[in-house]
Structure 1
């Protein structure tokens, strides 16, 4: 038997899951270009923070500040290695004369569920949780009204952030289906905005999101432009944008102006996460790492699977797929439940069979997919089904991180 290991359980062990395959099968492992990129060392992180893009650095902006300093972070639904960057931001604040009791960490994740202290520790590190007050943004209360954007979006932003003496946002950059890419102003909208502001932004074009939306669409993307404008209106001082590899290790860092620094990180990330999809595979395996909280990205199967082939989605994550309660309950979730979950998905139209290999069966998760989708918790049973369908010879494509990866020939960067 052949053995392939896939990485699972981001933030909860970062271990590898062994998958066995018959010796006669041809295995193609799909990796991003970043696979062998060196990880940033401490001095490289310091240098990136010292040499900001389009703005003064943290030391220069923080010197003489006697009030509150707010540093934001995303939640466990994003792979961003905040714990790797935060100590060096604090180091610069100390150099400027800022004390620990001036600093707080504000969770910037819009209408996602709040984080508890354990989740904050996994994101920012145990030492940061012990030293700094870690709090969640509330999308329903405590806002500063900053007016409206040029597109008419009401700008209601977290008051603790808007009224701080210095505002620093730590974000991760990856592909995003509506905003083009993560990071930059997205930390403020939706990250630190009211539910009304978020919904307006997400439905600004005739009551819905742009129909031509796609990953890596930056220039002239109305949602993204709105996000960047709100961040500027809220007075974001330093945007810290992380580029990471397929193990969530930091490989690039751009800090400074919310437009200039972010765009540099976007270009670096675009190259780092690109990959070359194989074609006409009998079996396509899609791992959900490093963003299992947000389910599975099926694009690799749509690109690589032959007609009638089999897709296996690996979803191993101890806390399961997220329930975006605040957002979903405002946008149709009660109706779906009362109607018995109509329009359940068959996410790869040309697939003859779709199997979820998961560590936990969840009816909530199952109800999102067609009743024809199969669910298994033990790999030998998955392999038994695969060998029964495909015999002694099969071509297998394994996407290690399809949540990050993309085909650059299909999705050019429009920045």
Structure 2
């Protein structure tokens, strides 16, 4: 069977023998909203679990609106197009409004990327600024969380009279689902906060995984941190495979988020009748597959249905390279993922208190490598260096599938997941 994997902006055609195919596994149809602008505006008037945004904004002189960076396909212009006039009509002066890009520890978005994020009109008429997670001085110390995470949050947000977070609700490899509280931590948290919250004490918990909220320490912790910062209102959406809005969830930080998660879970969860030997997946295409770092999300998402010793074949464009210098440097420092894990868990006596920014993504990748072989299909400029990243490369999906069938046998079950981490494959109860 032929299908198209999400790859860059153009997609990548692929084929799997019909007799081996499981799927394609795709999100369930959810009709896109006919006029999402109307739905967004109505959600501000009748939010979930709190008064209308116009009431919350009365008497406020400053407001900070958090938006995702360019690595997330959030329709920021649509959301801001409703938020900004609502705030100004309620009396918040335009000069008192800051649109803060929640970069986390990613690079800043500058120049034309600002226009890509918010549109020309908003970029030209409002203050749009980046969060810089490595600049501790630009953060406010809000104390320590019950689990021992030091809380340092961007002062522009902390000092605002009204605090709003936008975003996208979708499966997330550590926090269960993105959206809501995640724009605060890690979105506008300092490195000093993120390195503890993303440390092994949280990530090695088996509940710190895609689609899991209950008992997930990563989710519970950043929910506590967001609540501590005083997040007043969220505006989140869900999207279909074509990036069209399928749902709008606005209101109180937790109630609106959980309403969105309930909707998303029904759409993205795909039951599979028994584990598979091979998965052919993607890193969800642009903008998520711009780096090797981001592509890891496509690997972790299929683990719930993989057999021990299985093969994951992933297509990712990775036009911007491996990731941050810190992340790339980890592969130079550690020839194997086993050595890396010993360092971050304290088993390596020669590396006490080891820490490098972005190590958490390699820790997630190590979870995959402990169970599966990983093969990349890519035209990335560094493709000939992939073996140094603990993975192998194939020239095409078809050649990778052929090699996997030789390894796992002619009757191997092959799951095809064209949209990668946007789909949450799970073993059905009968399997």
Q: Bin the TM-score by the shorter chain.
A: 0.7 to 0.9
1:314 to partner: Cα distance: 0.9
Deviations 1:8-53 (A, max 9, x none): 32xxxx43333356788867321112x3432352211211222112
The answer as to 2:393 corresponding to 1:374 is yes
Deviations 1:82-102 (A, max 9, x none): 233221112322332334333
Residues in 2 aligned to 1:8 and 1:82: alpha-carbon distance in whole angstroms: 22
What secondary structure, in the 3-state scheme, does the structure 2 residue paired with 1:94 have?
helix
Q: Which residue of 2 aligns with 1:113?
A: 107
Q: Structure 1 unaligned runs (5+)?
A: none
The answer as to 2:168 corresponding to 1:167 is no
User: Which segment drifts farther, 238-247 or 36-45?
Assistant: 36-45
Deviations 1:229-250 (A, max 9, x none): 2222222111222222223322
Report if aligned partners of 1:167, 1:235 keep a CA contact under 8 Å in 2.
yes
Q: Which residue of 1 aligns with 2:343?
A: none
Q: Which residue of 1 aligns with 2:345?
A: none
The answer as to 2:418 corresponding to 1:400 is yes
Per the normalisation by structure 1, the TM-score is: 0.80
The answer as to 2:125 corresponding to 1:131 is yes
Q: Which residue of 2 aligns with 1:259?
A: 254
Residues in 2 aligned to 1:219 and 1:387: alpha-carbon distance in whole angstroms: 40
Q: Which residue of 2 aligns with 1:48?
A: 43
Residues in 2 aligned to 1:359 and 1:204: alpha-carbon distance in whole angstroms: 33
The answer as to 2:354 corresponding to 1:358 is no
May I ask how many residue pairs the two structures share in their alignment?
390
Q: Which residue of 2 aligns with 1:87?
A: 81
| Aligned pairs for 1:7-406 within 5 A | 7-9=6-8, 14-19=9-14, 28-33=23-28, 35-39=29-33, 41=35, 42-65=37-60, 67-139=61-133, 140=135, 141-203=137-199, 205=201, 209-277=204-272, 284-290=279-285, 291-292=288-289, 293=291, 294-296=294-296, 297-298=298-299, 302=303, 311-323=312-324, 325=326, 328=327, 336-341=331-336, 343=338, 347=368, 355-362=375-382, 366-370=387-391, 373-376=392-395, 379=396, 382-383=397-398, 386=401, 396-406=414-424
- When residues 365 and 92 of structure 1 are mapped into structure 2, their CA distance, relative to the original with a 3 A threshold, is farther
1:396 to partner: Cα distance: 5.0
Per the normalisation by structure 2, the TM-score is: 0.77
User: Which segment drifts farther, 171-180 or 337-346?
Assistant: 337-346
1:320 to partner: Cα distance: 4.3
Residues in 2 aligned to 1:263 and 1:60: alpha-carbon distance in whole angstroms: 23
Residues in 2 aligned to 1:219 and 1:185: alpha-carbon distance in whole angstroms: 15
Q: Structure 2 unaligned runs (5+)?
A: 341-365
- When residues 172 and 322 of structure 1 are mapped into structure 2, their CA distance, relative to the original with a 3 A threshold, is farther
What secondary structure, in the 3-state scheme, does the structure 1 residue paired with 2:24 have?
strand
- When residues 319 and 122 of structure 1 are mapped into structure 2, their CA distance, relative to the original with a 3 A threshold, is farther
1:308 to partner: Cα distance: 8.1
Report if aligned partners of 2:62, 2:92 keep a CA contact under 8 Å in 1.
no
Residues in 1 aligned to 2:43 and 2:65: alpha-carbon distance in whole angstroms: 17
Report if aligned partners of 1:179, 1:224 keep a CA contact under 8 Å in 2.
yes
Residues in 1 aligned to 2:105 and 2:274: alpha-carbon distance in whole angstroms: 38
- When residues 369 and 103 of structure 1 are mapped into structure 2, their CA distance, relative to the original with a 3 A threshold, is same
The structure with the largest helix share of the pair is 2
1:334 to partner: Cα distance: 5.1
